[in-house]
Each structure stands twice: as C-alpha cells, then as structure tokens.
Amino acid sequence: MNKCTNRSLLTLAILASLEGPLLAEAQVPAPIEASMPETAPRPNVIVWMLDDVGFAQLSSYGGLVQTPNIDRVAQKGVRFANYRTPPICSASRAAMLTGRNPHSVHMGGHAGATLPHPGYDAKVPAEDGTIAANLRAAGYLTLALGKWDHMPSGEMTQAGPFTRWPTGQGFDKFYGFIAADADNWAPVLIDGTSPISTPRTTDYHLNNDMADQAIKLLSARSVRETAPPVFIYFATGTAHAPHHAPKAWIDAYKGKFDMGWDVARETILKHQIAKGMMPKSAKLAPRPDGMPEWKSLSPDQKRLYTKQMEVFAASLSHADEQFGRILDALEARGELNNTIIAITSDNGASAEGAYHGTHNETLFMNGHYPSAEENMQFIDKWGGPETQPHYAFGWAVAGNTPFRYFKQTTHEGGIRVPLVFAWPKGIAARGEVRHQFAGAADVAPTILDLARVPLATIVNNVPQSPMEGISLRYALDAKDAPNRTKAQYYELYGNKGLWSDGWTIVTSHRLDPWRMNQNGPINEQWELYNVDKDPGQTVNLATKYPEKVKALDAIFEEQAERYGVGPISNFGDSRAFGVKNFMAEMARRKGVWAYAGAVSNIGFGAMPPLTARPFKMEADITMRTGKDSGPIFAAGGSSGGMAAYLIDGVPAVTFTDLSGKQSTIKANAALPAGANRLSILIDRPAIKPMSLELVTVTILVGDEVLVKEQVTTTLPIQGYGVAETFDLGIDRGSAVSSAYSADQPFSGTLGRLSFQIK
C-alpha cells in the first residue's frame, strides 16, 4: 500500500485533462495553524458519533425526529450539507479517529467480516495514531464512551492484546462495549480493559449511564487547580439496532408517523429545501425494489411499521436528551463556549431490518427475515427489554431523504450524513449551512487545527504517517470558500463510488444489505450523477457523458491504488474466508477449546462454535456448600442464548431461541460435595439453519448419567449476535436463563473447562 502526502503525477495528469472546473486543482492537506493566541486555554473537544443515523433524521436537517440539543449545537455553529463517510461503522470510525482513509488503516470493510488483504484485515497500523493520541500528547484528558468495534474480533477477549482497544489508542479512560452494538437495557460493559457488572437499576439505560460517566469526568478535573482540557468521544449505540427507548419516550411519539414513509419523505424534502440543505432542484430518489407504497399496506402492516418508527425516533430523542445533560454540565462550569463540538453519524440510515423490520436483529445475521405476522407478536413489547428490534427498510429510505439507498451502499444514502461543528469561542458562524465537501478523514485534522495541536511525530514509540484528511477550518470560516477537496473514493464489498466536484460515479452491486452471503462478479457499469443539482441521483448521465465517466474512473483507480483498495470482494467472500479460518482453527486445536477456569467477555468472533456443531463440555467443579448455584458457561443472553448452570447444586441446560422462548433440561439430582467432573453432551442429528431441530442433551457427573432428554429448539448457526459474549463462571449482560441472575458468579469453584467440537 502506497501512502503519500501529495497527489501523484497520475492524478495531476488526470486533473489537467478534464474540461472545465470539474477538477481544477489537486487536494493538498492544509497545514495546521494556530487559531488562537498560544496563551489562550485550549478548548475542550467532544465528538458525538451517532450510529446508523441518516442525513434526514435530525430535526436540524429537516427530519421528523426531535433532537433539540443537536439543534442547540447547530445554532452555535454550522451544519455541513455535503459531508460523506464510508458506508459502514468500522470503516468510518477508523477513518474519523485516525484522520486517514479506511483502507489505508486496514479497515476497508467491517471488522467482523475481514478479508485476507491489507486494506481489509482490521489491523489498524501503529503509525496511524488517533486524534486521542495526539490530543493526549498535548495535555488533554481523553475519554472514550460507548461503542468500539474497529478491531479484529479475535482480539475482543480478556487475553488481549489491548493495543487496539481504546486505552491502547490514545484514550486515558474507556467505558462502553467492545462490539458492533449493545443491548441498551443490559449491556456487556468494559471499564478500561476490565469487565464490569451492568448497573441493575429499574430505570437503567446505557445512554444515561454514558452521560453520567462524561459528567463525572468533567467534575473530577476540579481536584486540579487548573483543569486540563478534555476530549470526550461519545459513541452511542443509538441509533443502531437494537432500538431501545424508555416507554415514556415511545408513548410521546405515538401517532407522529401515521402519515407513512412516502409522505414523510415529501415533508422532509420540503423542510430541507427551506433550510438550505438541498437545492430547489432536488427530487426524491425512486423507491428501491421491494419497498411498497404506504397506501398499499394493510392496516396491521401500517400499525407495525408505524410503531417501529416511533421506537426509533424515541431512542434518538432520548439519546439527544442525555447528550444535552453533558452540554448543561459544561455550561454550568463555564466551559461550553470554549468547547469544540462535532456531531456526526458513521453511515446512512440502516436497511438491515429488511422488508418488515425484525423483532430481533440477530435473525438477519442468520439469514432469516421475519414476516410482518411474526413481528406483530412483539408489537406491544417493541423497544423494550424483550426485543432487539430494527425497523423496516422503508423508514431507512425516508431517513436518507432525498438520497438513493442506505447504509452499506456507496450511493448518497449510504455515505452522505450529518456533520455539525460548533465552537462558540473560536468559530464566528451561527446557525449556518456549509456546502463544501467534507469527509470522515477531515474531522481529526480539523479538530487538531482548531485546538492548535500539531500532529505528533511519534506515538507509542512509533513514527507517525501523515493524516490524509484536511482541516475544514477554511469552510468553517467562510461559507463561500471553494472546495479544497477535489475527489474522494468509496468502496465496500463490491459497491464502488467516487465524489468529484459535485459529480458522483457509483456502482449498484449489493443493494440488499441484509443479505450477507452475496457472491458473484463485481462488474457493474458506472452510473454518473450530478449530485449538486440532483442529490437524489434520479438521472443517470453515464451514457450522455462517457468521457466524464472515463476520467472519473481513472481517478478512482488511482486513489484505489494509493490507499490500498482491493482486491475488491463480495461480502460472501468474507464469510468464506471466515469459514476457512474456522476450519484451520479447528484443525490446529483438534476441535478443542480449553480454559483454565472462570473468564468472561469472550467476544463473538473468539468463542467456540457451540451453535454450529455438536459438542461435549467437561468442567472440573468443586462444590463448596453442596447447594452451589450459578452459570458454568453462557453464550448469548435473554434474546437468544445457550447456558449450562447449577441451581442448588442441580445441573441444567437452557436454550433460549431468538424469539425469547426457553427450553430447559434439568438433572434430577445435585452434584455431590467436593470435586466433580461435570460433562454435558449436545448432540444434533441434523443441522438445520434457523429451523426447529431435535437436540439431545446428556448431563453426566463422572460416568454417571444424571439425565438424557431431547428438546426441540432453534440453534442459529451464525450465533446469538454480537451484543452478548461467551462467559465461563458468570453470565454478563442479560441472562440466558431466568433461573439465575446476570453478573452473579458461580458460587462454587470452577476449574478447567473444555469444549470438544465434533
């Protein structure tokens, strides 16, 4: 991979060959300059990274979800209408935090779906230090809150290595979850690098907890006579699925979306034009295949889909309130005016709920897309602890108004999202809109520029590469300043794109992001759109302007070469690569996963494949009281999982399917006092993906069979989701079985455990 600070000769030649002002000059990173006198105190910095929030969902962007605290920040600064990001979370977060392109930092796809190529292996190089590392070197106290998932899944365990965890990436403190998403009612939490119990209060919600942690840090600085500046990376799971919100917030949105997604899109576009976010020429992108007209739906379908959107809106508004508490704390301390605030989203609104939404997001990972009838069984519980929901993809289309498509595509709906920037003390603009191009890699150099922090030459004893993004201070200072970025590529699992001076070329390869097994030739033709005039990408101009397509294609190829894009692969290729690695791991281990004793928080990608194969578990257990209780192992949680445990010394196994139904087999006798060898055999005559199957469970102590019974259940081959972990001697997050409590360790002594996978 060839990283460089200047455009190559090839790029300059291409730029010179184009007619008119299409690409008049190459992008040159702007130097970081002092924006305040050196004697002035450095500003605090807060970045709120929203998850799966589309361009058209915030009220300050014309959306129908009320976000008054984001509006409050927007009124103190600017909103970018032309900000783009990689179309998936791991890639965009790595780019934003490092100030470099995603493939340059080895994050060309999702960290949980890697490929055997440098641009896609999820191993962020040490020379690509984060904004946190640079700010900490300048004396900042740094805190990461919430989601962290741009790292190899095999490193998501208590065995480390921790170099790519937040505390290894420039953050003094971390409080959140190492996963793609979290159950907001019962998250699997990490403090620093250590697992902790979820606070078990009746009104607990993760976003409230995160806001509490931020406010605590702000207050803790008062022990120093001069409080250090603080950088807070506030990475809510909201509004990624599962969409969870307190009931009062859900009730407040009742009836607010009865108009349906078609009228919502029309209404939002009018708001956007009135706010100056969209040109008057903007038209709505056509509905994607499979998205019905709202008026064609049955009353039950309308009721279901409306409830889904009410819950989504409630979750986003509730998160906005919690962010507002942080703003209030800063204001009370007299620090708000000297705080740089950036609010953005990691990609466009998500269509991963497929046609009808889903009451449990793990279903789509296993290739099952619930019907409206299936989902209706959960409508009264939607958004509560009993569900892990995602809305129907029609609402994602509305959330990306007026753009085409959604998250995981390289069309505008996947990559064009909000960016709000404010710094009352240092940015003169108030409530203004900016139309200059801005990219994810530009956020870090912009903040360093504003805060007068030069790029560190050494981080963690490693010489640093230049940031590839540029400072946006020029745009913050002058709304009519010409673009300094002239071209930016995009690529994700076969979808390709390039923005260049108001034009885009893009391919339509994988347009159903809920389908995770796609394979096939990646040979689609480029489409061409003038997105300055036609942001909805409604008129493909490729046939009309073939020379422009050819010129932009050449720029894409040059950037792909420079930033490490390729070989371009399907999402299904990543799954095939995962299977290949699994088979190699099986051979290396001879099918055995062994552990020395109790340990928790083994991530989805590092646990033994208990749902994919028959297996035998053996555990050395010492009974302390004769009535010891608690988990022996637990995979998953209350919305889908498998666990073996003791209750008053009696062994049992529970399967909880993805609809929350529990099936339990329990022995008829307790383990004797002292040392025991407990064995559990899980046998399956046929493995049926997402279908009911007959599972035989045998529980033994020594050679004595305590029980052998069969149960009919569903075992998802792709596992119980990414929000929960695999735990031994405890069950973090939510409990698989209602027979014991989460976060309560086994009361006996757990020795060696092994899992022989057949």
Q: What's this model's pTM, rounded to 2 decimal places?
A: 0.95
So what's the pLDDT on residue 455?
Answer: 96
Question: Which SS3 state, helix, strand or coil, does residue 374 take?
Answer: helix
How far is 357 from 674, CA to CA, in rounded Å? 50
Which residue is associated with the tokens 């390729």?
A: 566
Question: Which SS3 state, helix, strand or coil, does residue 336 take?
Answer: helix
Nearest to 657 by CA among 388, 287, 373: 388
In the sheet that 194-196 helps form, which strands lie side by side, from edge to edge?
A: 194-196, 189-191, 173-177, 141-147, 230-235, 44-50, 339-345, 419-422, 77-80, 432-434
Mean pLDDT in consecutive groups of 10 residues from the start of the chain, 758 residues:
38 34 34 52 97 98 98 98 98 98 98 97 98 98 98 96 98 98 98 97 97 97 92 98 98 98 98 98 98 98 98 98 98 98 98 98 95 98 98 98 98 98 98 98 98 95 97 97 98 98 98 93 98 98 98 98 98 94 94 97 94 96 94 98 98 97 96 96 86 94 97 93 97 98 98 97
Give, for 9, the enclosing helix (H) or strand (E).
helix 9-17
Q: Report strand pairing: 432-434 vs 726-728.
A: unpaired
CATH number of 590-757: 2.60.120.200
So what's the pLDDT on residue 37?
Answer: 54
pLDDT tens sequence across 190-244: 999 999 999 999 999 999 999 999 999 999 998 988 899 999 999 999 999 999 9
pLDDT tens sequence across 463-513: 999 999 999 999 999 999 999 999 999 999 999 999 999 999 999 999 999
Nearest to 618 by CA among 677, 541, 531, 575: 677
How far is 583 from 607, CA to CA, in rounded Å? 14
Nearest to 396 by CA among 18, 53, 740: 53
Residues 505, 507, 510: CA angle, nearest 5 degrees: 150
Cβ–Cβ < 8 Å for 540, 527: yes
Which residue is associated with the tokens 């999820």?
A: 122
Residue-range domain boundaries for the chain: 43-485, 590-757
Nearest to 5 by CA among 26, 34, 19, 23: 26
**Backbone phi and psi for residue 219, each to the nearest 5 degrees, phi listed first:** -75, -35
Nearest to 488 by CA among 44, 11, 10, 9: 11
Q: Compute the radius of gyration of the chain from its Cα atoms.
A: 26
Per-residue b or e along 146-166, where b marks 16 or more CB atoms closer than 10 Å to that residue's CB: bbbbbbbbebbbbeeeeebbb
Please state whether 719 falls in left (phi above 0), alpha (psi between -120 and 50) or beta.
left
How far is 390 from 217, CA to CA, in rounded Å? 33
**Backbone phi and psi for residue 232, each to the nearest 5 degrees, phi listed first:** -115, 120
CATH number of 43-485: 3.40.720.10
So what's the pLDDT on residue 691?
Answer: 85
Nearest to 75 by CA among 295, 266, 341, 322: 341
How far is 286 from 411, CA to CA, in rounded Å? 13
End-to-end CA distance of the chain: 41
So what's the pLDDT on residue 686?
Answer: 78
Which residue is associated with the tokens 């900000």?
A: 83
